[in-house]
């Protein structure tokens, strides 16, 4: 006779008691910011008592902290389904929708909270802010006229009318151009928490846009056999850790080329310094310094996670708008020596995608919610074969068979991607064919992860990993410039 299932043999009271014990442990891990462990424990509680709205809502909160907005949405919706009066469920679902840029849906959930708690000032404030965003987006769509193209921000900037004050003592472009000397001065100037002059910042952005609009969506990079090449992942506005990369691995040059694989900004509060430094090196060494677009090089992410607020505080909202225009033209992926595919997020919801298809992807726009461009920026690997729904609610999750098929179809050795925090700064998965690299150590001053970068040589293209700890930075906390609605995630 087969063994009786242990769970089914328990009484309802025993299951509830055991589930509550798991929930208590999960809450402790949540408080300790060990969100993956908390999710595992909440899951055990849910397996014992699947109809507890509280367990689903709590797991939703843990997923929100990890930006698993798709999973958070599913749990919050389930909590509401189980108890339509449970206000925290609506809060969590609204936060999930916001993380996915679905403002109208978030507004509806905030409205439900306000109706249930008319005296809740925090709920009213969040509802009003969300409604303001929805109304602004509606207004922008209304004034957009297809047959009357609007001037771009770049076309409205008049560099010549900007003057350099006599007391400005910072780095200066030489005849309007970036030089090695300028970059050395710029990095030291930024390290001292000083701002580059507005005129020079605008000039760098305008030159970057002019350069990027001529580039393909997929950039082929040739690396000589004996030459070293470095790939870095997310830096997320952690400028002092970016400087540490250059200290450990050398400053970018024609003999020390780099590829930075997206998410240069947001969260960290020195995003302006990061992006202007990276853009400066791109202009100085256009054929030896490369940048892929990340999911945080987008308007919605920048409005939520701090970059727009930071640029507006340090410069102006007009400059923030110009950054958005420039980001729209960043390449989406790179192929190194025809053998290694590099993109920020990952692979695709269908087989048979070719490099030529990726070369043909239309840029110059905000990322759509589906399709190749979306998946390049948002997808994540999963350990099991096949494909699954995205934990983020955007893109997809892809297994080792998907990676093998893509590499086989396109004659590639392996894929490098970023987009996810890893404890050691990198992770090798899918039988060595999918490598994640993340270069922001102690992410948001809370994750205690190492950062990493990958070096390889053109001859054998074998990845080598360098890991490092976070370095001290001035006392400006991450998310200092983020939208106040972000308090729902933290």
Catalytic residues: 296
Rounded distance, CA 64 to CA 73, Å?
A: 9
Q: Determine phi and psi for 472, rounding to 5 degrees.
A: -60, 150
SS3 track for 170-209: CCCCECCECCHHHHHHHHHHHHCCCCCCHHHHHHHHHHHH
Q: Is the C-alpha dihedral spanning 107, 112, 118, 120 positive or negative?
A: negative
The encoded tokens of residue 373 equal: 């461009």
In the sheet with 387-389, reading across from the earlier edge strand, the strands are 380-381, 396-398, 387-389
Contact 292, 258 (CB under 8 A): no
Distance of CA 274 to the CA centre of its chain: 15
Residue 23 Cα distances to 56, 68, 446, 489, angstroms: 11, 20, 23, 20
In the sheet with 426-429, reading across from the earlier edge strand, the strands are 218-221, 333-336, 340-343, 414-417, 434-437, 426-429
Rounded distance, CA 220 to CA 73, Å?
A: 38
Residue 357 Cα distances to 339, 348, 352, 354, 399, angstroms: 17, 12, 10, 5, 21
Beta bridge partners of 468: 451
Contact 244, 210 (CB under 8 A): no
Rounded distance, CA 304 to CA 126, Å?
A: 13
In the sheet with 289-291, reading across from the earlier edge strand, the strands are 289-291, 258-260, 228-232, 451-457, 464-468
Rounded distance, CA 489 to CA 94, Å?
A: 11
Of 209, 190, 241, the closest CA to residue 329 belongs to: 209
The encoded tokens of residue 311 equal: 């640029």
Q: Determine phi and psi for 171, rounding to 5 degrees.
A: -65, 145
Rounded distance, CA 483 to CA 300, Å?
A: 11
Residue 18 Cα distances to 7, 11, 15, 26, 79, angstroms: 11, 11, 5, 12, 20
């Amino acid at each position: 006779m087969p063994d009786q299932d242990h769970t089914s043999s328990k009484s309802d009271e025993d299951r509830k008691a055991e589930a509550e014990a798991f929930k208590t442990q999960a809450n402790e891990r949540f408080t300790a910011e060990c969100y993956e462990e908390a999710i595992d424990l909440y899951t055990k509680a849910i397996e014992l008592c699947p109809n507890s709205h509280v367990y689903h809502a709590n797991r939703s909160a843990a997923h929100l902290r990890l930006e698993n907005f798709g999973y958070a949405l599913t749990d919050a919706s389930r909590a509401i389904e189980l108890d339509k009066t449970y206000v925290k469920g609506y809060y969590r679902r609204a936060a999930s929708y916001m993380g996915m840029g679905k403002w109208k849906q978030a507004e509806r959930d905030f409205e439900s909270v306000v109706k249930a708690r008319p005296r809740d000032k925090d709920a009213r404030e969040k509802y009003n802010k969300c409604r303001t965003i929805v109304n602004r987006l509606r207004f922008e769509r209304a004034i957009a006229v297809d047959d009357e193209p609007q001037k771009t921000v770049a076309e409205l900037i008049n560099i010549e009318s900007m003057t350099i004050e006599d007391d400005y003592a910072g780095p200066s472009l030489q005849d309007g151009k970036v030089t090695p000397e300028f970059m050395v001065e710029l990095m030291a100037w930024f390290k001292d928490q000083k701002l580059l002059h507005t005129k020079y910042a605008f000039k760098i952005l305008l030159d970057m846009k002019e350069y990027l609009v001529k580039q393909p969506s997929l950039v082929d990079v040739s690396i000589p056999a004996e030459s070293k090449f470095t790939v870095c992942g997310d830096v997320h506005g952690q400028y002092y850790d970016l400087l540490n990369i250059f200290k450990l691995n050398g400053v970018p040059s024609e003999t020390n080329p780099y590829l930075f694989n997206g998410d240069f900004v947001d969260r960290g509060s020195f995003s302006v310094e990061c992006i202007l430094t990276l853009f400066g090196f791109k202009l100085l060494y256009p054929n030896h310094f490369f940048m892929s677009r990340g999911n945080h090089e987008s308007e919605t992410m920048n409005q939520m996670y701090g970059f727009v607020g930071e640029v507006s505080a340090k410069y102006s909202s007009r400059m923030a708008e110009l950054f958005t225009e420039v980001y729209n033209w960043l390449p989406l992926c790179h192929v190194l020596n025809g053998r290694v595919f590099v993109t920020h997020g990952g692979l695709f919801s269908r087989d048979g995608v070719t490099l030529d298809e990726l070369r043909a992807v239309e840029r110059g726009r905000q990322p759509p919610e589906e399709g190749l461009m979306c998946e390049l920026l948002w997808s994540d690997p999963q350990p099991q074969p096949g494909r699954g729904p995205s934990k983020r609610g955007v893109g997809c999750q892809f297994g080792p068979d998907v990676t093998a098929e893509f590499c086989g179809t396109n004659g590639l050795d392996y894929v490098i991607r970023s987009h996810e925090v890893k404890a050691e700064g990198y992770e090798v998965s899918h039988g060595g064919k999918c490598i994640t690299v993340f270069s922001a150590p102690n992410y948001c001053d809370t994750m205690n992860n190492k950062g990493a970068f990958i070096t390889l040589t053109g001859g054998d293209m074998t990845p080598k990993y360098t890991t490092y700890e976070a370095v001290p930075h001035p006392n400006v906390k991450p998310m200092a410039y983020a939208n106040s609605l972000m308090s729902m995630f933290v």
